[in-house]
Amino acid sequence: MHRMRPLWIRGLRLYRSGDPTAADDVGLWPGDEEREPLPHVRSRFRSVDDPECFALYSVRDVPLLGHAAQPMQLLPTEDHTLIVVREFRRVPLEASALALMIFTARVGAAARVIATLAHWAERAVSTYQPAYLLLAHSLEQPKVSALLTGVHERRALQWARACPFSVDLVLPEVGPLLDAAPEHYAYCPEEEALAALPRAVAPSAV
């Protein structure tokens, strides 16, 4: 007998604001446009250095029928299926700010970048006690890694911390392994989420 089981799929789409179709179907997969479920998590980020560049992170579950599931189709190069390396979540989740960083490894250095970030992430959880932390790499482009963090800024100030979360300690170690400087993205809620929720971070953000 076949049994249905959920499979959590995490996606990251990078796009520019000049592309009118880039964000219309974020979180959907080829052929899914007419089917549910919609993404459970959907968070939009804007590049700190290039305001025209956006990243949209999404999580949805896809039902698989036992072992009869078909292989998943890969998406274009700017769409990434994220493979989780480390994930930490506080329950209940209380975050006032989200941030995303994208690391692109040099040729042949992807495994070392992931290992370095994973080791640092374990220490960062103890040091900063973030509300949420996700470290993942791209299935389609293994040299691309993503670090997503959710923090409660007011609590950090109450604990007399100058910064609620910082990657400064790992940059000297991981920097020589990268093809370019890490890309920084700040949380940028979509208009409908911003209008419906009075707080800075939507419950469905992570």
Convert the pLDDT of each residue in 146-155 to its tens digit: 999 998 877 6
| For residue 8, pLDDT beyond 70 | yes
Convert the pLDDT of each residue in 102-123 to its tens digit: 999 999 999 999 999 999 999 9
Convert the pLDDT of each residue in 192-202 to its tens digit: 544 444 456 77
Convert the pLDDT of each residue in 33-44 to its tens digit: 444 456 678 899
Global pTM reads: 0.77
- The better pLDDT of the pair 24, 99 is held by 99
Which residues, at least 6 apart from 162, have a Cβ–Cβ distance to it below 8 Å? none
Determine the pLDDT at residue 97: 87
Nearest Cα neighbor of 116 from 148, 85, 80, 84 is: 85
Q: What is the DSSP string of 120-165?
A: HHHHHHHHH--SEEEEEEESS-TTEEEEEEEE-HHHHHHTT-S-S-
Determine the pLDDT at residue 39: 66
Going by pLDDT thresholds of 50, 70 and 90, the confidence category of residue 93 is confident
Convert the pLDDT of each residue in 41-73 to its tens digit: 889 999 999 999 999 999 887 665 444 444 444
Going by pLDDT thresholds of 50, 70 and 90, the confidence category of residue 143 is very high
